[in-house]
Amino acid sequence: MTFSKKDPIDALFRAWDRPDSPGCALGIYEDGEPLYMRGYGCAQLEHGVPITPTTVFHVASLSKQFTAMAVGLLAQSGRLSLDEDIRRYIPELPEGPLLTLRHFLHHLSGLRDQWDLLRLAGWRPADLRTTGDILRLVTRQKAQNFAPGTRFQYINTGYTLLGIAIERVTGVSLREYTEEHLFKPLGMLHTAFQDDHQRILPGRAQAYSMRPRGGWKINVPPYETVGPTGLFSTVEDFLLWERNFLRPIVGDAAFIQLAMAPGAFNDGRPVSYGFGLMLGEYRGLPIAEHSGGDAGYRAHYLRFPEQRLAVAVFANALEIHPTVLARQVADVLLEGRFQSAPEAAADNGPSGHELSSRVGLYRDQWSGITSKVELWEGRLFLVPSTGGVYELLPAGPERFRFLNVDAECQFTSAGQMLVKYGAQPTGLCERVALEACGTKALVGDYAGTYQSDELGVRWVLDVSGEALVLKRERFPDARIEFTADDEGTTALGDFHLRFTRDGGGRVNGLSLCAERVWNVSFARL
- pLDDT exceeds 60 at position 391: yes
- pLDDT exceeds 50 at position 347: no
Q: Per 3-state DSSP, what percentage of the chain is helix, strand, and coil (rounded to 5)?
A: 25, 35, 40
pLDDT, position 440: 66
Determine the Cα–Cα distance for residues 121 and 412; give it in Å rounded to an integer.
37
Indicate the residue type of 496: H
pLDDT, position 434: 59
Convert the pLDDT of each residue in 145-157 to its tens digit.
Answer: 999 999 999 999 9
**Is the C-alpha dihedral spanning 288, 294, 295, 296 positive or negative?**
negative
Nearest to 162 by CA among 116, 131, 196: 131
SS3 annotation, 267-305: CCCEECECCCCEEEEECCEEEEEEEEEECCEEEEEEEEH
Q: Which residues contact 71 (CB under 8 A, 6 or more apart)?
A: 80, 82, 101, 105, 162, 165, 166, 275
pLDDT, position 346: 41
Convert the pLDDT of each residue in 454-506 to its tens digit.
Answer: 999 999 999 999 899 999 989 999 999 888 889 988 867 678 999 999 999 99
Average pLDDT on 259-287 reads 95
8 Å CB contact between 457 and 524: no
* DSSP-assigned states of every residue in 77-88: TTSS-TTSBGGG
Residue 377: burial class (beta carbons within 10 Å; 0-12, 13-18, 19+): exposed
SS3 117: helix
- 233: part of which helix (H) or strand (E)? strand 231-233
pTM of the predicted model as reported, rounded to 2 decimal places? 0.93
- pLDDT exceeds 60 at position 344: no
Average pLDDT on 226-233 reads 98
pLDDT, position 352: 72
Determine the Cα–Cα distance for residues 8 and 28; give it in Å rounded to an integer.
14
Q: In the chain, what are the domains?
A: 57-110+145-333 (3.40.710.10), 346-435 (2.40.128), 438-524 (2.40.128.50)
SS3 256: helix
Determine the Cα–Cα distance for residues 453 and 468; give it in Å rounded to an integer.
23
Average pLDDT on 177-191 reads 98
Confidence of residue 134 (pLDDT cuts 50, 70, 90): very high
Q: What is the average pLDDT value for the chain, to the nearest integer?
A: 93
pLDDT, position 442: 85
CA dihedral (409, 411, 412, 413) in degrees, to 10, reads: 180
- pLDDT exceeds 50 at position 345: no
Convert the pLDDT of each residue in 78-89 to its tens digit.
Answer: 999 999 999 999
